[in-house]
Amino acid sequence: MTECPCGSGSAFEQCCGPFLEGAPAPTPEALMRSRFTAFVRGDLDHIENTHASDVKDGFNRSAAESTANSVEWVSLEILNTAEGGTNDDAGTVEFAARFRQNGELMVHHERSNFRREEGRWAYVDGKMNPKGEPRRVEKVGRNEPCPCGSGKKYKKCCAA
């Protein structure tokens, strides 16, 4: 068995293989994984064919190929997904693709946008090194119930 380069642990034939052959990917994550696998295998056709219609013309295949050939892919980690369900027409996948270039370990961290076009998921664009949601600190009033769940007022409990 050839393990799939996307790191799913499944065999290539049972994982990204069919999508590289042209089968429609069921989710944005599956498409994203197959595009990573395509980069690893140098299958630029798959990369080009899975672009959304409005970005296809802007794709520089020779540059993508040159980059793919100059790096050694190490691993793919899916960090987050949003929407992209059976009833959605859009979805995002945040991932970290690790690779070695000129001997240096690097990471390509992107949040990609996908769109459903004629029933098939397609890559639209991405935000590099996206920032997480800003942390929110909520202030607890002294007379409100304590957030620890004791039932006492905050001022009589953890604030004391």
Partner 1 sequence: MERSFSCPTCGKCCYGQLPLAIDDTLAHADRFPLVVMWTPVRQGGRSFDITAELGITIKLRKRKLAAVQISPCAYLPPTLPCPELTADGLCGIHATKPLRCRTMPFSAYRDEADQADLLIPRSEWMCDTSPDAPVVYRDKSILDRQNYDAERAQLVRDAAILKPYGEWLLDSVPSLRMEIQKVAMKPSGGQVIVSFSTLIPRLAKVDIYAFARNQLPIMTAYAKKTANDPTLTDFHKRYADMAGEWGKIGGN
| x/- map, 119-138, partner 1, by CB under 8 A | --------xxx---------
Rounded to a whole number of angstroms, the minimum distance from the CB of residue 145 to partner 1 is 38
Q: Which is nearer to partner 1, 69 or 143 (CB)?
A: 69
| Distance (Å, whole) CA 114 – CA 29 | 9
| Distance (Å, whole) CA 149 – CA 141 | 14
Rounded to a whole number of angstroms, the minimum distance from the CB of residue 67 to partner 1 is 8
Q: Which is nearer to partner 1, 27 or 50 (CB)?
A: 50
DSSP state of 2: P
By CB under 8 A, tell whether 60 contacts partner 1.
yes
Rounded to a whole number of angstroms, the minimum distance from the CB of residue 105 to partner 1 is 16
- Contact in structure between 56 and 128 (CB atoms under 8 Å): no
Instruction: Identify the three-state secondary structure at position 12.
Output: helix
Q: Which is nearer to partner 1, 3 or 72 (CB)?
A: 72
- Contact in structure between 122 and 52 (CB atoms under 8 Å): yes
Looking up tokens 């997480």 gives 132
Rounded to a whole number of angstroms, the minimum distance from the CB of residue 58 to partner 1 is 5
Q: At residue 61, what are phi and psi to the nearest 5 degrees? A: -65, -40
By CB under 8 A, tell whether 148 contacts partner 1.
no
- Bridge partners (DSSP) listed for residue 101: 104
Give the binding site for partner 1 (CB under 8 A): 57-60, 62-64, 66-67, 69-70, 127-129
